[in-house]
Chains A and B, each alone.
Chain A
Amino acid sequence: MLIIKSRPRPGIGSVLVRFLLAAGVLASAEALPATPNFEGVWLIASPTNTLKPLSGSIPFTAEGQKQYQENKRLRAKGAFDDYDITLSRCNSPGTPRLMLNSERFKIWQRFGVLTFDFEWNRALRQIDASGRPPKADMMGQGLIPTMTGTSKGHWEGDTLVAETTNFSDRTLLDELVPHTLDLKVTEHLRLLDPETLEDRITIADPAYFKRPWDAAVTYKRQPAALFPEDVCLDRHEAHQPVFPPK
């Protein structure tokens, strides 16, 4: 398969290697680290509907706790469209909730851009690690907050660091946890081994959380496959679950 590599911003690792080369300590340029390749088919290792903090509980502010409790009340009432338009409309779950999906996704890595292509409803998200200026936005679409936000990434050695902002506030972090327009999601993605991908997720949203908090999700590599054509709206119209049972 053809991979066209971008020129990523040098992480500390590659900067150090270049210095050591110049100093005559390293023998050859082959010691320079290549951009890791995340391409392949992946599946969450431990399916979950909740984004669990690595330690303790979610550090809600009073406002965040209030909205969280309201979401729980609406869920108990079955008023899904009042708090979770993914369940009520097949709306994109957005970032980071897409990364909790129980079905497979593919990662394509071309021209410095990582495209996540989900089996669920053919959903897409992308991380732009090309370092190139954004494309011309003649219709002002960049002014509109989106479900998946705008993700900019750079490589630090073997880790892709992605920062996502410009979120719509119509999504949830998981099946219940709310956020505001000011959400910022920072992800550190790296291969723990050739078969395991880790996404360490940092959530920052001062209106709802007293401090940033971390979660981590791992994925296992799957065999190459073509995903079936999934149309969530068809399932929704047939009164089937928006998220098929695991």
Chain B
Amino acid sequence: MRTEFRWRPALKGLVLACAAVLAIGPGSAGAQAPPAGAPPAPDAKAPVYSQSGPPPPPPLSPVEKLVTALPPPQPGGGPPMLPLAADAPMPSADPHDLQGTWIHNQPLQFRMQRDMYGVLVPYNMEGAKVLARRVNSLKNGAPFINASAICRPPGPQWQRDLNFPFQIFQSKDWIEFVFEEYHGRWQLILDPAKAPRPAQKNYMGYSVAHWDGGTLVVESSEFKQPLWLDVDGTPLSANGKIVQRIRKVDNGERAPFLEIVSTFIDPTYYTRPWSVVRTYGWNPDLTVFTEYNCEEQIGDPSVRADAGLVPEPQD
């Protein structure tokens, strides 16, 4: 004999059971209604999640305390991005062709305080100390020497972050970025067999790239010296590595851009890899660069070669 499940009585029983649970509720036994207009009295036995608002954040670690106590960075800015002319040429539709003239179209970040997900940069104590030392050196009126200040190539991240145009040229064997600022150059090698490893380390490192679908993945390492990733000196050790994922985005609104996600891998200064993202607007009208000739000032034999800056202590 088949037994049918009698759902109506079961449902009724379920509803009654839920009402009983809600009527009992934690802390409701013996509680009296608060006076009209007053906030409900706090209940010491109530768990945190029953109060209004999110739970308080965990206490800062010693590293986070050190970093967050630093003077705030200067607000970033950049030149206004003018719209493209109606007859301006557009980039190639080929996702593997990045050629053209581009410019960082977001405000310059003087200090990368959070990653692309809004999480605090994961310094270890060593990295936090280096950052703090660099930031405080500026505050104390004795800023440290860094590549940019003495007219040396500043490394790929700082070079790209500046709000000045660059051109991209590419062949099947390599891709070259040529920058207005610092008359800089960044070489990405697609076929290492065609480009011998340099005899000595470069300021811009050694960058090998490959295509992953429509994304160019670039691994940069073997830097000549430790890097300042930004103006305030977010550090990358000379043994650090930057993995850049570059793709071209065209939403059909005559405003194509490059997106570059940079992941910093450096156990010397960070507890784990972390990433930032930048966009670079297409603008062929910026192909004619303004001359950048920092050697005229920095190379002046009548002034100090360190431009009046202070050597950074080497740990």
Chain A residues with a Cβ under 8 A of chain B: 1-2, 4, 81, 85, 88-92, 108, 110-111, 113, 115, 117, 121-124, 126, 128, 130, 132, 134-136, 138, 141, 146-148, 170, 224, 226-229, 231-234, 236-237
Contact = CB atoms under 8 A, between A and B. Distances in A.
A215 to B, nearest CB: 23
A135 B99 contact: no
Given A85-B296, A111-B89, A231-B152, A135 B285 contact: yes
Given A81-B301, A229-B203, 4 more contacts: A91-B293, A111-B89, A126-B289, A237-B305
A113 B299 contact: no
A124 B288 contact: no
Given A231-B203, A233-B299, A2 B174 contact: no
Given A108-B169, A229-B204, A231-B152, A147 B299 contact: no
Interface in B142-165: 150-153
A8 to B, nearest CB: 14
Given A92-B293, A111-B101, A229 B285 contact: no
Contacts of B173: 224
A92 B295 contact: yes
Contacts of B178: 108, 115, 117, 124
A124 B169 CA distance: 15
Nearest to B206: A229
B229 interface: no
Interface stretch (B60-68, B181-189, B213-221, B261-269): B181-189
23 contacts: A2-B170, A81-B302, A85-B296, A88-B299, A89-B300, A90-B295, A91-B299, A92-B291, A110-B167, A110-B284, A113-B287, A122-B185, A128-B288, A130-B287, A130-B288, A135-B288, A148-B291, A226-B174, A226-B189, A226-B195, A228-B198, A231-B153, A233-B151
Chain B contact residues: over half helix, strand or loop, or mixed? loop
B74 interface: no
Contacts of B271: none
Nearest to B290: A141
B289 A1 contact: no
B79 interface: yes
A88 B298 CA distance: 11
Point out which of A89, A90, A136, A237 has the most chain B C-beta atoms below 10 A from its C-beta: A89
Contact of A89 (B82, B202, B290, B295): B295
Interface in B293-311: 293, 295-296, 298-302, 305
Point out which of A122, A148, A170 has the most chain B C-beta atoms below 10 A from its C-beta: A122
Contacts of B296: 85, 89, 91-92, 147, 170
A229 B289 contact: no
A136 B151 contact: no
B82 A136 contact: yes
B288 A134 contact: yes
Contacts of A91: 293, 295-296, 299
B52 interface: no
B293 A126 contact: no
A2 B99 contact: yes
A223 B279 CA distance: 34
A148 B291 CA distance: 8
Given A111-B287, A135-B288, A237-B305, A229 B185 contact: yes
Given A92-B293, A110-B100, A233 B152 contact: yes
A92 B189 CA distance: 28
Contacts of B32: none
Interface in B56-89: 79-80, 82, 89
B97 interface: yes
B250 interface: no
B291 A146 contact: yes
Given A1-B171, A226-B195, A231-B203, A85 B183 contact: no
A228 B199 CA distance: 9
Contacts of B167: 108, 110, 115
B112 to A, nearest CB: 25
A233 B295 contact: yes
B145 to A, nearest CB: 13
Given A124-B183, A135-B285, A229-B204, A110 B99 contact: yes
A131 to B, nearest CB: 12
Nearest to A4: B89
Nearest to A89: B299
Contacts of B286: 135
A108 B177 CA distance: 12
Nearest first, the 6 A-B pairs at minimum CB distance are A89-B299, A146-B291, A229-B202, A90-B295, A111-B284, A113-B287
Point out which of B97, B150, B170, B295 has the most chain A C-beta atoms below 10 A from its C-beta: B295
A237 B145 CA distance: 15
Contacts of B169: 1, 108, 110
A113 B89 CA distance: 14
Point out which of B80, B174, B199, B291 has the most chain A C-beta atoms below 10 A from its C-beta: B291
Nearest to B178: A117
A2 B203 contact: no
